[in-house]
Amino acid sequence: MLLKNLRPADEYDRFASQALEPWDVLFVTRIRQIARDLPPGALVDIGTATVVVPVRLAADHVLKGWHFIGLDLDETMLEGGRPRIEALGLSDTIELKVGDALDLPFADNSLTMAVSRATLHHLPDKLKSLTEMYRVLQPGGVGLVHDMRRDVAPDLLEKFTQMRASVGYPPTHVEEKVTLEEARALVIEAGLDHCTVVTSPSSGMGALGFEILIKKPLLA
Instruction: Kindly report, residue by residue over 156-203, the tens digit of the pLDDT.
Output: 888 877 877 776 766 677 788 999 999 999 999 999 999 999 999 988
Every domain of the chain and the residues it spans: 9-215
Domain 9-215: top CATH class: alpha beta
Model confidence pLDDT, tens digit, residues 145-167:
999 999 988 888 888 778 777 76
Q: CA-CA distance, 220 to 106, in Å (whole number)?
A: 17
pLDDT higher than 50, residue 129: yes
- Exposure letters 48-57 (e unless 16+ CB within 10 A, then b): bbbbbbbbbb
Report the run of H or E that residue 70 belongs to, with start and end: strand 67-72
Q: Whole-prediction pTM value?
A: 0.87
